Structures are given as C-alpha cells and as structure tokens.
Amino acid sequence: MDVLLQAALEARGHAHAPFSHFLVGAAIEAADGRIYGGCNVENSSYGLTMCAERTAIFRAVAEGAKRFTRIAVVADTPQLTPPCGACRQVLWDLCGDLEVVLFNLAGASETFRLSDLLPRAFDATYLD
C-alpha cells in the first residue's frame, strides 16, 4: 500500500469522534517527501471540531513544511468522502492545486486535483 494512504489509515485510528462516530484520517505529503498525518477531533460544540485534513496541513506547517504535492483522505463510507468546503479553502490557500486521493476501508479510491473539487477558488489574487 502507498505510504501516504497507510499514514492516513493510521491517523484515522487516532480520531476522536465520540458524538458522530465518523472517523476520518488524512495524510499530506510535503514536496520533500515528508508525510504528516491528521485525524478529526470533535468537540461537543460542533463548530469547534477540527477536520482531519486541516489537522494534517496545520501539523505540517507547524513542523516547517511549506510546499505540498498530495493529500489522502480515508473514511469508512461506501461513497468516498471528499474534504469539506472549509478544508478545501485552507488546502487551496496553503497548497494550491494539489492532488487529492480519496479512499475507503473497502479499498475504493479516486484521485482528483483540488481545482476539480474547488472550481474558481478564492485566494489572495483577489485581494490585490
């Protein structure tokens, strides 16, 4: 199995989802090959919950990574689970048009470009 997918699966095992029981793992690959995992962490006030994708990217940035090539997201759902809108926006701002690999525990997978999941993305170019 691809090391990125394995890291996402491992991260999923650390998810804290006592309310939804929806466990998600993500792993992001930096341009230098380092991989950073993240899981969703729920809070009883759902608005304070952090998604796996943002946990992974924030961890990578906190550890010094600046450029990224791809992210993998895994959940135990028959239909592959893409990043939510907030995660798509954060990924766009910090990673640009990276590759997004979705997969589930049954072994199904699909790969997208972030621009396919977030067409006409808002970014800093609109602020000039």
Q: 3-state secondary structure string, the chain?
A: CCHHHHHHHHHHCCCECCCCCCCEEEEEEECCCCEEEEECECCCCHHHCECHHHHHHHHHHHCCCCCEEEEEEEECCCCCCCCCHHHHHHHHHHHCCCEEEEEECCCCEEEEEHHHHCCCCCCHHHHC
Catalytic residue among 10, 29, 42, 53: 53
- Assess whether 53 carries a catalytic annotation: yes
Catalytic residues: 53
